[in-house]
Each structure stands twice: as structure tokens, then as C-alpha cells.
Amino acid sequence: MKILLTGGCGFIGSAVIRHLIRHTGHVVVNVDKMTYAASEEALEETRHHQRHILVRADIADAAAMRQAFETHDPDVVMHLAAESHVDRSIDGPADFVRTNVVGTFTLLEAARRHYTGFDAARKSAFRFHHVSTDEVFGALDHGDAPFTETTPYDPRSPYSSTKAASDHLVRAWNHTYGLPTMVSNTCNNYGPWQFPEKLIPLVTLNALSGQTLPVYGDGSNIRDWIFVDDHASALVRVIEAGQPGATYAIGGRQPRSNLEVVKTICAHLDHRVPDPAGARERLIRFVSDRPGHDFRYEIDPSRTEAALGWKAPHDFETGIARTVDWYLENRSWWEGVRAARYAGQRLGTQGSGMAA
């Protein structure tokens, strides 16, 4: 099977490609614009594998997408490319509209044009899998039931609003045009190769260097977490066993408050590389909450687990230990990324803090 996968040099996309190349025989056509958060290094040894093809292109470029489908003739689309940082969406929503909404529309149209040329057998096997977020469902309060596949949409940020719009487009192309699409919504991902502006790598790297650990509000906001390799395996199960028109809620069953996450990272670093100045919890600083900060996200993945025969194997403590150890062992990568980011800030490009 040949899979056209968008955003394959991003954090989650690269994990999916590593899984596909290492554990399946599928060919992967990796379409990536190579924005600030993309890294070919994240593909590891699969970067140069004969079943991996990198196409540098923008999903919002209609001509480029038509060319990609005509040249590579994929059997399946896995659409992961997206702008995903909430703080960046607040500061500059236009990029989110272009990539998440216009880009998804452009990709859907290219896929529809490609699909109409298939014979009956290829049409039956074709899938368009759109990867989304739990943030489209809005926020939960204490005691509210977790999100499921049928939770009504209530997005609160420019990021989640553009993802909700793209989800609706994908479902509309299924109902209106018969394109066999599927949507999956997931919780916060963490693991190796995550861009350092996100909460877990930001806290890890700041704590290593003795810098302040910024926590929004009082740190009580709750997120559900899934180790990125677990999510990657679930996404592959969706294309293998998912049904057109269906939605899959993918979660790790690991809700934690932001403050708990930060303290867990501090404890692991204190154990692995003790700081002579003392326990790293001393570095925690509570900062002004961001605008419209949703209180709680949590997914009930029961239906997806039953439908796909899948369950996330990592608990949060095991996953965090693997993640922190990876950053300890890959200093050259994140130091280079951080240096480039700060250089960009000095030149006037947009920076950002933490997100969760």
C-alpha cells in the first residue's frame, strides 16, 4: 500500500512514518512544507529508507497537491499537517486558517479528483484519514464525562476553531461526494523529537539549564496525555481497520494537571541528573493565564479501543521517563533548534512560550 502522509517531518507525523517503515511494508510519500517545527532528523533511519519519499510542498498549493497525487498515485491519505500551537494561533491566526482550513480543503479536492479515476476495487480500498485534536470539543469541568466520538463541538481558540472547521470539511466530503474519509481526535501527545516550545520539552530543557519553569495560572488545568509512539500505532490501525465515515477518539487514559506534569519532570531529572543547587521544583513560577485557557480535556477511548483492537501501552510515568531520557541523550538536536529559534526572535520573528 502506498500512503500519502502530510506533515511527516513534524512531531507526530515523523513518529507515524517511523512506525510504518519499521513495522509494516507500506510505502510512504511524505508531503511536508518544512516549516519551523519540521525536522528531517526526526525520521531517524527511515529518512533514507527506500520506502520513504519526501516531497517538499505546501498542502494549500493546489497545483502542488494535484502533482503529488498524479506522480505518486497513493492508495491512502493520512493528513497530519497542521499549525498546532495555541499561543501562536492567538498571536497570528491567519497562518492557522491557511494551513488548517484552506490546506485541508485543497487536499480533499486533490484526493477527490484522484479517487474519481479509480476502478471499483481501488475505490473500495481507498481511505482519507484526517488527524485532529480533542480541543475541538471545548472544555470540561470537574466531574464532566470525558469526550467521546459523539461529543458536540465547542472550539475556543483560533487553533481549535480551524481544526474544527477542517473536521467538518472532511466529513462533508464523505457525505456529499462519497469520499471515504475518517476522522480521529486525540489528546496531548508527548515524546521524543517534540519541538521545544511545547510544555513537556520546554519544562525539561529549562529545568536542565536552571531556568524558570513557567506554569499558567495555578497549574490546575488538566490535560489527557498519550505517548507519541502509542498514538502513531493507533493512527496506523485506523487506516488498516477503520470504516469510512467513522470517528475515532484516541486517548491514553492519563489525565494530569499541568502542575503534576511539571513536578513529574522535575522528579525524574532530579533522579537522573541531580542539581547541586537543589530540587528543581524550586524553579516553578506561576505566570498570568493565557486568554481563554480551557480548564480540562480528557478522552474516553473505549469505543476506539474496541473497534481497532488497540490500547495505549505506556502509562504517563513510563512515557515521561523515556521522554526526559531522550532529551538528555539528544542535546545536540535541541540545542540547535533552540539556537535557531532565539536567533529568529532577535530578528523579529514570532516566538512563543508554553502550551498545554
Catalytic residue among 115, 159, 190, 216: 159
300 is catalytic: no
Catalytic residue among 32, 58, 87, 135: 135
Considering only CA atoms, which of 212, 189, 201 is closest in space to residue 316? Answer: 189
Written as nine digits, the cell of 172 is 462533508
Q: Please give the angle made by the CA atoms of 294, 258 and 208, to the nearest 5 degrees.
A: 135
What is the DSSP track for 189-225? EE-TT--TTSHHHHHHHHHHTT--EEEETTS--EEEE
297 is catalytic: no
70 is catalytic: no
Catalytic residue among 32, 58, 87, 134: 134
Considering only CA atoms, which of 133, 333, 122, 349 is closest in space to residue 251? Answer: 133
Helix axes 62-72, 103-116, angle to 10 degrees: 40
Which pairs with CB-CB distance under 8 Å and at least 24 residues apart come from 276-285? 277/210, 280/207, 280/213, 283/206, 283/207, 283/210, 283/211, 283/212, 283/213, 284/213, 284/215, 284/219, 284/259, 285/212, 285/213, 285/214, 285/215
Considering only CA atoms, which of 52, 2, 56 is closest in space to residue 22? Answer: 52
| Torsional sign, CA 328, 330, 332, 336 | negative
The three-state DSSP-derived secondary structure of 258-311 is: HHHHHHHHHHHHHHHCCCCCCCHHHHEEEECCCCCCCCECCECCHHHHHHHCCC
Q: Residues 2, 10: contact at Cβ < 8 Å?
A: no
Give the helix/strand (H/E) hosting 18: helix 11-23
Catalytic machinery residues: 134-135, 159
